[in-house]
Amino acid sequence: MVLKWQFVTVILVMELSSLTNGLTFSHTNNTRLKRQSQCSEFDFVCDDGNCIDDCFQCDGKYDCPDKSDETTACRLKACPWYAFKCAYGACVDGTVECNGIQDCVDNSDELTIKCPGVVEYLRERGNCSEGERQCRTGECVFEDQLCNGVKDCQDDSDENLARCFNFYCPPYGFKCDYGACVAGEAKCDGKYDCYDDSDETEQLCGKPPPPKATTLKPPPIDVPQPPGSCKAPLFADGRMVDLQSNEVFTGQFVLNYQPLKFSCIRSQLIGSETVYCVDGKFENIPKCSRHCSNVKINTISVEATCQSQNGVRFPCSVNGSSLLPPGTIADLKCKQGYELPEIYVDTRTVCEDDGSWSNRVFKCKQICGVIDVGYSYVSGGEETNITQVPWQAAIYEKANDRFGHICGGSIITATAVVSAAHCFWNRGLSKLKHEKEFQVVVGKTIRDYYGKDPYTTQTFNVTFIDVFEQYNDYNGLYTVDVAILELSSSIVYTPYIKPVCIVPSFEGAERYVDSDVKGRVAGWGLTENEKPSDILKVVDLDTVSFHKCKRRSPLEFKNFITHDKFCAGNLLNYTVCAGDSGGGFMITQEKKVGEKIQKVHYLQGIVSVGANSKKVCTPGHFIAFTNIQYVLQLIYKYLGTKENKKGA
């Protein structure tokens, strides 16, 4: 109860402070401060001319007297995988999240959905109807109006860090510093789209921010309110003028029985243009219509076609803009590789006058593990085609300005690929390499990054590499050898580019992989000629018992057969070798897909470590695979579900 009370108190403090001056929770640590004459090239120079050690910049505590060391410029810094990233970009200890103590100057370490009271706060709708949320000042706004970069609550409580920090923003959107999501093209387009103007900062765009259009308001009138008069209402999206066409501002006095004329700046007026002050009140104040964002109707899994009320079709992006006029009808359907959810959903939605869509846009389910083109697998280490392993991803590392193949991976969502952690580990420095060194290509049959493939490929930068905190590569015996690669944009599914299914979660002894389970592995690893394969190959392997694997493996390999592994191999014929690491061990099950019974492929394991050397590949050794059952916690973060239990 104490933690929840502390959280709510912080929420109220944050909502009462302005967004631009919201980073005011900590005190300056003057013991870290140096006089200007003591500054070196390795120091951070504060805006006021003082300096601090560079390591104290963006550490969650104010060290500069002017607080310039903890600003939104911290977003440009990368945090190590074990750290917690504050909303404004600073890096603090990863263990401080939700510990009841403020460690980020904006308190965002106590605002994640893991923290007590946060989920309840975000779900609370007060006295508002279903699909609405109550502002702190009492009025109701639609959920679609939350965290969209536009102030809809009079007190800004729909556009602040407490409300928006946990707000989901798709990869093609732009996430404002306080968490709101606007169209991706809003970044550095010369117009302010984020309520805190963070889409146009000089640190982000490399140029001075555009000027803000301001209208000088008259000084406040220090006189009593005349009897029967009204205060001009809030009318944020337009202008109010009096009979003489003089602009009237919110809070100004309007004499009894005098009119105000309302007009909208960029949209249509809804209601009467002229409203009179009658006995201290304005009745039926008009509103300005609002355009709807097309970001919400074009998602990773859903695409829309748009038409006007009279049936004229037009692109859902009008003249490159992400905004659509009121009255736009959007017909929704699932993109290729997805299907409608099992529950009923309305596939048509209309842009309302208030800028919201009449129906919430549904999420389509991705279709996984199904092969629907090409020919059957060729087993026994023979060449195959990407149509037979459409989830196969090729991973490349840049060296000497050229990309070379290092590992394989498996597509699990449109923005995530699973591989082996050791593919991205710098053993000399005992840490992960930088994600900018890697690219992921899907749809590849030819190993060479620059080679011409029979099908169109898709190439992605890696924006984040996620591994378990306890992973320690060779020194840790390759335990939990799994990595998730976040991609820079979304994969477009095609008949030969698809995700694989993930095996259901089991408990206890059921996690164990039985002997003689047949699986298939694809890759471009070393061949019997001791050279990487130029063409994608597949091999059929049978699993063996944990004890048999240990008993028949070389002494130096036994220690790497840890509790989270299972073994597979063929001691007489083909095997998996260097270059195949990170690839998936796929098993098949028959399952009803649509109206058909089809073979569905599931990811059971990830190629981890074998007894072969990096230069020679000879049959006669078992391969240790990371058992998916022991790493589902990491994978579920990217599937967005924890309901993949047995029988589901």
3 state SS for 135-151: CCCCCEEEHHHCCCCCC
Please tell me the distance from the alpha carbon of residue 235 to that of residue 273, in angstroms, as a whole number.
13
pLDDT of residue 620: 66
Please tell me the distance from the alpha carbon of residue 60 to that of residue 29, in angstroms, as a whole number.
11
Please tell me the distance from the alpha carbon of residue 22 to that of residue 104, in angstroms, as a whole number.
12
Provide mean pLDDT across the span 284-291.
85
Is the separation of the CB atoms in 409 and 440 below 8 Å? Answer: yes
Query: Distances from the Cα of 426 to the Cαs of 50, 432, 585, in angstroms?
Result: 37, 6, 25
pLDDT of residue 155: 84
Percentage above 90 pLDDT, the chain: 34
pLDDT of residue 480: 94
Q: Report the range of poorest mean pLDDT among 286-290, 436-440, 486-490, 625-629.
A: 286-290
Buried b (16+ CB within 10 A) or exposed e, 484-522: bbbbebbbebbebbbbbbbbbbeeeeebebeeebebbbb
pLDDT of residue 481: 95
Query: Which has the higher per-residue pLDDT, 269 or 483?
Result: 483
SS3 62: coil
Highest mean pLDDT among 258-267, 445-454, 610-619: 445-454
Of the candidates 312, 324, 307, which has an alpha carbon nearest to the alpha carbon of residue 267?
324
SS3 294: helix
Percentage above 70 pLDDT, the chain: 84
Q: Which residues in the chain are classed under CATH 2.10.70.10?
A: 230-288
CB atoms within 10 A of CB 123: 8
Sorting pLDDT into bands at 50, 70 and 90, what band is 14? very low
Provide mean pLDDT across the span 277-305.
87
Q: Which residue has the tokens 């029988």?
A: 647
Would you say residue 347 has pLDDT above 60? Answer: yes
User: 292-366: which CATH topology?
Assistant: Complement Module; domain 1 (2.10.70)
Q: What pLDDT, in 10s, does the model give residues 478-500?
A: 999 999 999 999 999 999 999 99
Provide mean pLDDT across the span 143-160.
88
Beta bridge partners of 589: 600
pLDDT of residue 24: 33
pLDDT of residue 319: 60
Architecture (CATH level 2) of domain 382-647: Beta Barrel (2.40)
SS3 379: coil
Sorting pLDDT into bands at 50, 70 and 90, what band is 643? very low
Cα-flanking dihedrals φ and ψ of residue 637, to 5°?
-60, -30
Beta bridge partners of 600: 370, 589
SS3 435: helix
For domain 43-119, give the CATH number.
4.10.400.10
Sorting pLDDT into bands at 50, 70 and 90, what band is 266? low
Buried b (16+ CB within 10 A) or exposed e, 621-632: bbbbbbbbbbbb
Provide mean pLDDT across the span 454-477.
93
Q: How many H-runs (helices) and E-runs (strands) does the chain carry?
A: 7, 42
Is the separation of the CB atoms in 600 and 371 below 8 Å? Answer: no
Cα-flanking dihedrals φ and ψ of residue 181, to 5°?
-120, 125
Please tell me the distance from the alpha carbon of residue 104 to that of residue 129, in angstroms, as a whole number.
35
Sorting pLDDT into bands at 50, 70 and 90, what band is 221? very low
For domain 230-288, give the CATH number.
2.10.70.10
Q: Which residues in the chain are classed under CATH 4.10.400.10?
A: 43-119
Q: What pLDDT, in 10s, does the model give residues 520-535?
A: 999 988 766 677 888 9
Sorting pLDDT into bands at 50, 70 and 90, what band is 647? very low
Q: Which residues in the chain are classed under CATH 2.40.10.120?
A: 382-647
Sorting pLDDT into bands at 50, 70 and 90, what band is 425? very high
Helix (H) or strand (E) holding 548: helix 546-552
508 DSSP 8-state letter: G
Sorting pLDDT into bands at 50, 70 and 90, what band is 13? very low
Would you say residue 339 has pLDDT above 60? Answer: yes
Give the β-pairing of 247-248 and 274-278: unpaired
